[in-house]
Amino acid sequence: MLEFLKAGGWVMLPIVVLSIVALAIIVERFWTLRRKAVLPPGLGRDVREWAATRQLDPAHIEALRENSPLGELLAAALDVRDRPREQIKERVEDVGRHVVHRMERFMNMLGSIASVGPLLGLLGTVMGMIRMFLEILEKGIGDANQLAGGIGQALISTAGGLCLAIPALLFHRYLRGRIADYVVEMEQQAMALLDTLSEPNRQANASDVAVAPAVVPAAVRGVQS
């Protein structure tokens, strides 16, 4: 393997380094973006039950915030649960942008590695061809071994660049899709909690409307008497 890398020329060094970086990013993102770590099962339902029964206190909300990205989003809504629906929605959207940004950590770097890999392979190909032509100018075309060195460098560096770029691109697209799916589900959970938080306000408004006709006539009768 070492001889194979040496035959590819100096361009194989950045290819190997970027391969290690890409592998580290992929492993870290797969661990961080586990479904149970981002969207714990039953968390949205439990939070809606707490909100419906008003069994909330700052300690519960803070523990929810530290639980997961979904918990952080729901905690943001609970922080301003007594405000109008539009203000709660704005807070959820603001916090959601930060949550998504953290979920996309290192994704730009992985995408850049997928783009740079073929370019490094192409650079190695060009360097190998230059090496071959210089040897032809110096020694002519009679020494096949000298020509094989340049051709080998070109082919090995091209293969190395593609072996770096193809997996990096596939995992980059896959992880992007997983994040997009998580974002959709988190939005659904947030909207469900928003409806739960709005329900007591609607009930309170309805009860005020129902009581008003009975109160006003009594007040009028008191004035008339």
What is the per-residue pLDDT across 122-154, written as a single tens digit (0 to 9) for each?
998 888 888 777 777 776 665 666 666 677 778
Provide the pLDDT confidence category of residue 204 given band limits of 50, 70 and 90: very low
- The domain segmentation of the chain, as residue ranges, is 2-224
Phi-psi domain of 42 (left: phi exceeds 0; alpha: psi -120 through 50; beta: other): left
Q: Is residue 69 exposed (0-12), middle (13-18) or buried (19+ Cβ within 10 Å)?
A: buried
pLDDT at 214: 34
Query: Do residues 63 and 46 make contact, with C-beta atoms less than 8 angstroms apart?
Result: no
Residue 29 DSSP class: H
Query: Do residues 151 and 144 make contact, with C-beta atoms less than 8 angstroms apart?
Result: no
d(CA 127, CA 12): 12
Mean pLDDT (whole number) for 17-46:
94
